[in-house]
Structure 1
């Protein structure tokens, strides 16, 4: 069972992702609604995986990804974006994100991506 941090400014999407992640046998150890909270939560809980929205207030997902990876290059982060943010997804992958999920998402796709990223050391 992996420990997962969910980062999204939408409480509804955080709850939906948490339910999917728990249903596939993993533990949600924290949630954050912006990039600044994500960095604090990462430092406090050291999750096995982070799902992170790209477009958030205060500090967006790209900046939070960069800051987390600068301090923890081993971090596994999956970016979540709207279909119209593809250029930002490619930037995130270049910075070190392990994969991405496009909204609206399907449960099976999330489970597959999460498990694949967790398996790859």
Structure 2
């Protein structure tokens, strides 16, 4: 079953084309969580490379996540916080945090920082 998260990711994040079909073949309720975690890992890989194109791509992905977060219900927001933000925050250091926060829209920075502090 395709959900709002999966439909939005398929429509707006080109990087998903390589792997999303394999992930959504199962009808598991956990599929959304796996997709969000995978998107975070894609962002982490791009942040590690750090080219301007990669950073722009991460920023575009985060904009899509922001649309989902701001337009989503509590379940969607929790899924994004628990999977996308938590996975992304695993690479943060004091040196990288300021740079990475600039990739987030203002309305998501607070939520991302909250996730970092909780973990």
TM-score when scaled to structure 1? Answer: 0.34
Higher normalized helix content (fraction of residues): 2
Between structure 1 and structure 2, the one with the greater Rg is 2
Higher normalized strand content (fraction of residues): 1
